[in-house]
Amino acid sequence: TFASRGAVVAGNAMHAAAGKVRDKALRMASEELEAAVEDLELADGSVRVKGSPDRAVKLGELAAKANPLRGAVKPGAEPGLEATDYFGPERGATASGVHAMIVEVDPDTFQVAIKKYVVVHDCGAVINPLILEGQIVGGVAQGIGNAFYEALAFDENGQLLNASFMDYLLPTADTVPRVETDHVVTPSPLNPLGIKGAGEAGAIPVGPLFAQAIEDALQIEALEILEIPLSPNRLYELVRGAVKSAE
């Protein structure tokens, strides 16, 4: 997606254009089948008379007839079984949700292990559950990278020190936990499909949640984590500083 607008903007534009194509197909089939538009239905790639499935015409046949070879189109009609429409929302439809994680911190090495990760998400009407699941889980994986692994290191001359994946760390399949997800469906009132963007909701909460979970696990009153990524050595420095300040 781009700014979580793919389904919200393009999806609603396609929905509107598809509605026009549907209406046009029904009007054409009405003449072909000699039946009222309200007595027709679309099913299995055809337009058919309700209650009489044998009285039907395929959408492919209607599309061919909508493009006559000699361009003989009835006055007031447009050729082709196609339509154009636009959708430009005045305001964005933002998703909401909550993330929770359980972590363990090794007191000797300060290595952090995520034991459980749960996301309850609301992106309005769900169009494709499988893609949405991938969007959320992928976002969480990206957020874990931001929170714990990914950082650019420079020397005193501004030379990048970790310019390859040999030393620029990324989360991998064995470091990303199984993400449990659930959905609350609150349709957006800002577009006909009732959908919201889902691009950022997986990644953004991970960093602050990671920091808060570590604070809770360590139970050091003076420890306040306000930065990511948190490598074990950086976490050790923060803990040491918090302990010294409390002495």
Where are the chain's structural domains?
1-88, 96-246
| Overall fold of domain 96-246 | Aldehyde Oxidoreductase; domain 4 (3.30.365)
pLDDT of 147 reads: 93
Please, are residues 187 and 124 in contact by the beta-carbon 8 Å criterion?
yes
- The answer on pLDDT for 146 being more than 70 is yes
pLDDT of 1 reads: 46
Least confident of 131-135, 198-202, 212-216: 198-202
1-88 and 96-246 share one fold: yes
- Mean pLDDT of the region 35-58: 93
CATH number of 1-88: 3.30.365.10
- 155-167 pLDDT tens trace: 999 999 999 999 8
Quick one: what percent of the chain has pLDDT higher than 70? Answer: 96
- The answer on pLDDT for 2 being more than 60 is no
Cα separation of 51 and 38, whole Å?
12
CB atoms within 10 A of CB 67: 12
Per-position DSSP letters for 71-110, written without gaps between them = ----TT--SSS--------SS----EEEEEEEEEE-TTT-
Quick one: what percent of the chain has pLDDT higher than 90? Answer: 68
Residue with tokens 């692994």: 149
pLDDT of 217 reads: 95
Please, are residues 62 and 28 in contact by the beta-carbon 8 Å criterion?
yes
